[in-house]
Amino acid sequence: MARQKTVLVTGCSEGGVGDALAQEYHRQGLRVIATARNLDKVGHLKAMGLDVIRLDVEDANSIRDAAVEVQKLLGSPLDMLVNNAGIGYYVPLVDADIEHGKKLFNVNVLAVLAVTQAFTKQIVAAKGTIVNVGSVGSLVPVPFQGLYVASKAALLHLTACLRIELAPFGVKVVHIQAGGLKTDWAAHSRWELPDTSIYAPFHDEIESGLHGHLTTFDKTCKYNPPDPLHDFAARVVRDSLGSRPPAQVWVGTGVWGCWMASFFWHTFQDGILSSMYGLKKVAERLAGK
């Protein structure tokens, strides 16, 4: 009888991407280890029969303890590691809090590497697969999301390097280029414009530009609505379980538009993004129009 495949997913709090991925891997017959910093947020997964363990990706001790616990729990190699945990930050770059920026890069980039390092030997033993959940923002200079998209660009290259470095050991590494998804991500990503900001006189223009694009996603994408999480998860799981998974999985609203935009002349790209995020209106006011 074939050994049941195993997968560990980070960032599985209820209602998010990791939650959807964990449930879909479970539906496909894998033994799923769902992790989160707060176990209260994955109780529903435990009730469904998934294994749940605490894993705080910012805590080196937590990562080490989780790796030891997984090894004891499985008694066999780990077939898949899905690095999903991440955070967002929406603010003009000139107003960004540097300490929060460091935290963002730690969670979105360095923590991915730290978790991968902790489970490398278990993955290598299985000749398994590592999946890193990124964003198409890695390709486009999205206003007011500069630190976030920069972290995702870093993750894109980190994933590519891992893919090349681990290939001799039979390990596959997949990067998920995620587009728009129906989550509550935007609802928890508001920012307050500092009174001292150079953008303060243009608060309304900037607020409508940013929040209009994020929190009224269904309206702005009327003819191309964001993908439901279950559709996203089904595609990611299907592709990642293949014997020869693709280097990148493009899934979610707007992914191909972002891909094409990455080839545009910067003047054309800048114009589109400026209009989308209210900066064109700021320029017009500054010019006295």
Active site members: 148, 152
Q: How many helices (H) and strands (E) does the chain have?
A: 12, 7
* Contact assessment for residue 76 and residue 6, using Cβ atoms and an 8 Å cutoff: yes
Distance CA 53, CA 46 (A): 10
Q: Where are the extended beta strands (E) located within 84-238?
A: 129-133, 172-178
Rounded to a whole number, what is the largest CA-CA distance in the chain? 75
The DSSP call for residue 79 is -
Instruction: At 236, list the tokens.
Output: 């990611």
Element (H, E) at 282: helix 279-286
Terminal Cα-to-Cα distance of the chain (whole angstroms): 74
Distance CA 3, CA 270 (A): 52
Q: Strand 51-54 and strand 129-133: pairing? A: unpaired
Distance CA 193, CA 199 (A): 8
DSSP SS3 for 135: coil
CB atoms within 10 A of CB 157: 12
Which residue, among 62, 61, 71, 64, has the nearest Cα to 33 in the 3D structure?
71
